[in-house]
C-alpha cells in the first residue's frame, strides 16, 4: 500500500570502473563477451591507467595473470572486470595489483594499474568488459551505451529477481 519504505538492498548500482566511452557488450570484439556467454554487461574504451571498483563489495577473484578482477557486490551480484582483450597471454606483465582476494572495497577503490606504454608495445586491445556473471538472477539494466562516462557515473543497475 505504502511505498515510502521501498526495500533497496536488492538493487546494485555499478559505476564505470574507468573514465572513458561505453561500448555495447555486443560490439566488444571478443565472441565470449559479445555473445554474453560470461554474463550481461558493458565494455569500455579508456585512456587512463587505473581500474576502479564499480561498487562496494568483496574481491572474490584476482586472476594470477592480473588481467581480471571479480567482485561480489553487497546484494550478491558477481561482477567480472576483464582488463583488455587477449591480456591473459601477458602472464601479469604490464599490470600492478593494488588489492588482494578477500579484501573489502568501496566504490572507487583502485584495483589494478596498467602500464599503457607496455600494452601499446604489445599491440593489446584495452577494451575492458564488465559483466555480471550471475546475471540470470538479476534484472540487468545497462545505461547509456556509447557515451562518455566517468567513474562517478552509474552504468548498470542490477535488481534481484
Active-site positions?
Answer: 82
Residue 7 Cα distances to 11, 72, 76, 112, 150, angstroms: 9, 20, 15, 33, 28
Other beta carbons within 10 angstroms of residue 88's beta carbon come to 16
SS3 15: strand
Spatial separation of the C-alpha atoms in residues 68 and 48, rounded to whole Å: 17
Amino acid at each position: 500500500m505504502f511505498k515510502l519504505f521501498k526495500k533497496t538492498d536488492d538493487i546494485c548500482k555499478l559505476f564505470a570502473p574507468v573514465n572513458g566511452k561505453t561500448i555495447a557488450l555486443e560490439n566488444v570484439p571478443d565472441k565470449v563477451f559479445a555473445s554474453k556467454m560470461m554474463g550481461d554487461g558493458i565494455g569500455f574504451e579508456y585512456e587512463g591507467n587505473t581500474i576502479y571498483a564499480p561498487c562496494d563489495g568483496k574481491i572474490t577473484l584476482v586472476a594470477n595473470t592480473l588481467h581480471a578482477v571479480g567482485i561480489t557486490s553487497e546484494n550478491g551480484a558477481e561482477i567480472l572486470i576483464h582488463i583488455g582483450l587477449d591480456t591473459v597471454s601477458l602472464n601479469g606483465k604490464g599490470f600492478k595489483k593494488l588489492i588482494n582476494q578477500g579484501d573489502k572495497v568501496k566504490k572507487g577503490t583502485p584495483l589494478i594499474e596498467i602500464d599503457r606504454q607496455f600494452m601499446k608495445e604489445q599491440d593489446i586491445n584495452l577494451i575492458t568488459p564488465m559483466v555480471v556473471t550471475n546475471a540470470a538472477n538479476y534484472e540487468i539494466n545497462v545505461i547509456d551505451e556509447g557515451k562518455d562516462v566517468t567513474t562517478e557515473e552509474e552504468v548498470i543497475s542490477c535488481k534481484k529477481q
